[in-house]
Every structure is written in C-alpha cells, then in structure tokens.
Amino acid sequence: MAAPLYLVVLGKQGAGKGTQCDRLSALYEIPHVSTGDMLRAAVKADSELGREVASVLEAGALVSDDLVVRLVDERFTQADAVGGALLDGFPRNLAQAEALEALLGAGGVSLCVSLEVPLELVAVRLSSRRVCRDCGTIYSERDPSAVSGVCAKCGGVVEQRADDRPEAIRRRLETYERDTAPLLDFYRSRGVLVSVNGDQSPDDVTRDIVAAISERGVA
C-alpha cells in the first residue's frame, strides 16, 4: 500500500482552504478534516464540547491546543482516515504543529500547501461569504441562495457565519499573522512547503496544487 497522504493546507481566512480541500478530498479519496467545521458541528449539536467552545468561536479567538489536538487525534483513528487526511485549520500554531509531528512521526506530513492571497482580497471574500447552516456549502452574498437564505443544495438556512463580521474578521486575521504564519518557516525547514497562488479561479488553484503533489511524488 502507498504511504498515507497527509496534506496540511495553510492560508489566511478566506484564502480558499475549505473549497480546495473539498476538491482534493474527492480527488485523493482522503477525508477533509477541518477543525473549524468539527467545532461548529459540536456547537450546532449543543454537545458538551459545543457549549464549551461556542463563545470562543463567536469571538474569533482560538480554542485550546489540547482540545483540538485530541479532536484531530480521534479523527485519525476513524476508518476513512487510514490513507491520510487533508488538514484545514490545523495546525494553527507551533505547539499544534509539534503535536501533529508527534502524532504522525517525523516526516508524517507529506506536503504543506500555502495558499497565497493578498489581505485586501480575503477581507472582501470573508465579508461577502454566506454559509449553509446545514450542509456547509459556501455562497457569495450575491448568489440566489444567499439572497433568499435557502440553500440550493439541501434547503437549509443560508446565513453569515458569526465570525465573518468585521470585528471577528480583524481578530482572526491578526491571530493568523501572529500564530499561524510562523508555520511556513516550520514546514519550510522540514522541506515540505509549497506555495500556490490562491488569487486565481478555484479550478486553476486545484490544478496548481495537484501539480505540486505529483511533482513531489507524494501521491
């Protein structure tokens, strides 16, 4: 069997990580593991974990390293993750990157893709983003589903994420620069970093990522 493919996707909020991970998940048949989606699902389900993290998420702050590391560790034990995973939103700081290395072993991360987008663009993308509360499909504010508030895919409610409001956006982007941007050096030092221009059509971004993956021979 081929070695598992663990892909870390880094990029500012609104860089297109979720969109690309959904596509890559279908292409490489490995699950899209988004810690943000997992935490939002817990809030929606009103589980004990959800109640613990709800206010942190709404403010755009980070939940504890310990908690997300446990969440990811548990997710890796599920049957669909034997071939690896696409990591979106994790790791988010050096402590989490080190925890991931401890979980997978040295060399466990096959590739780290950095989606590069200018700050002005992500601010616009985030404030116009609308999301289906039920199936998670992302729409832009002018899409008919966003205008009507009814998801074209599942009939669920389409709304703005609580943390896509200006104050929370500012806070999330600051946290990204301070805590997450240093991971670029971390993965560069491991020899697994590739940069991809995220300011192009989703198809072109996917094409560039797939090219980088096959160039490196990791899948």
SS3 21: helix
107 neighbors 187 (Cβ within 8 angstroms): no
25 vs 96, beta carbon nearer ligand ADP: 96
- In sequence order, which ranges of 46-180 are alpha helices (DSSP H)? 48-59, 65-76, 94-104, 119-127, 144-148, 166-175
Maximum C-alpha span of the chain: 49
x-marked contacts with ligand ADP along 126-165 as a string, rule CB under 6 A? -------------------------------------x--
Interacting positions 46-105 with ligand ADP (CB under 6 A): 56-57, 60-63, 68, 89-90, 92, 96
Q: Which of 12, 125, 130, 161 is catalytic?
A: 161
Annotated active-site residue 171? The verdict is no
Annotated active-site residue 190? The verdict is no
Annotated active-site residue 161? The verdict is yes
Q: Is residue 35 near ligand ADP by the rule CB under 6 A?
A: yes
CB of 138 to ligand ADP, least distance (A): 11
Q: How many residues bind ligand ADP (CB under 6 A)?
A: 17
CA-based nearest residue to 217, from 189, 194, 184 = 194
C-alpha span between 151 and 155 (Å, rounded): 5
Total residue length of the chain: 219
Annotated active-site residue 172? The verdict is yes
Q: Which of 12, 92, 125, 130 is catalytic?
A: 92
CB of 174 to ligand ADP, least distance (A): 11
95 vs 211, beta carbon nearer ligand ADP: 95
Q: Is residue 7 near ligand ADP by the rule CB under 6 A?
A: no
Question: Is residue 116 packed enough to be buried (19+ CB in 10 Å), middle (13-18) or exposed (0-12)?
Answer: middle
Tokens 């990791």 — which residue?
A: 218
Beta carbons within 8 Å of 8's beta carbon, 6+ residues apart: 87, 91, 100, 109, 111, 112, 113, 187
Q: In the complex, which residue's CB is closest to ligand ADP?
A: 36
Annotated active-site residue 17? The verdict is yes
Using CB under 6 A, list all residues that contact ligand ADP.
Answer: 13, 35-36, 39, 56-57, 60-63, 68, 89-90, 92, 96, 163, 172
Active site residues: 17, 92, 129, 161, 172
